[in-house]
Amino acid sequence: MKHFRFKLQPVLEQRERVERERELDVARLEKERVELERRLTTQQGFISASKGALREALGAGVDASVRDGGARVNPSLLRLQATNAVHLNFRAHQTVLGLAGLHTKLEQARARLAEAARDRRAIELLKEKRLEAWKKERGRKERVAQDELVTSRAARADAAPTDPIGRRA
């Protein structure tokens, strides 16, 4: 008996390829998201350190002013620290915006992946139904073939000559 052959197998394989491509897209975007989150965490650490350095620069001037009776704050150091803090905040803000855009892309990629999975699953369900129908048809044909075999044996047995005692020759 012939083996089961699904006529839409190339379509199923193509849909599986599309689904794998969508999975790779999601994985690439997830990797990018993790990298941006790591970068943002690093930038937040730099911002905290910069604020601490700015506090120290201001605090050292206050301690000196109390001891010496006058304020001794280094304006160029304060300007440098403030500029650094503004720059770090700007970079962190850019990273947050990039992360927000990436989340949108990631949601869209996940939706495309879900759609590709649904498309593939629809063809798989069709294949399963056709396989079941093929198995039923194969079983029916086998039963018909067995019935014909039994019928032909019985016909041969009835047509065989018998001797006077009733035994078949």
Give the DSSP letter string of 56-78. HHHHHHHHHHHHHSS----HHHH
Q: Is 8 helix (H, G, I), strand (E, B) or coil?
A: coil
Averaged pLDDT for residues 76-103: 90
Q: Are 47 and 85 in contact (CB under 8 A)?
A: yes
**Per residue in 58-81, is it b (16+ CB within 10 Å) or e — as a string?**
eeebeeeeeeeeeeeeeeebeeeb
Task: Specify the pLDDT at position 71.
Answer: 57
Q: Token digits for 71?
A: 């304020």
- Whose tokens are 């012939």? That residue is 2
Q: Token digits for 70?
A: 């006058």
Least confident of 48-52, 88-92, 106-110, 135-139: 48-52
Task: Specify the pLDDT at position 58.
Answer: 75
How would residue 102 be classed by pLDDT, with cut points 50, 70 and 90? very high
More confident residue, 139 or 63: 139
Q: Is the per-residue pLDDT at 60 higher than 80?
A: no
* Residue 166 region by backbone torsions, left for phi larger than 0, else alpha for psi between -120 and 50, else beta: left
Give the pTM. 0.68
How would residue 34 be classed by pLDDT, with cut points 50, 70 and 90? very high
pLDDT digits 0-9 by tens, 122-169:
999 999 999 999 999 999 999 999 999 989 888 888 776 666 676 655
Q: Is the per-residue pLDDT at 16 higher than 60?
A: yes
Percentage of the chain modeled with pLDDT above 70: 86
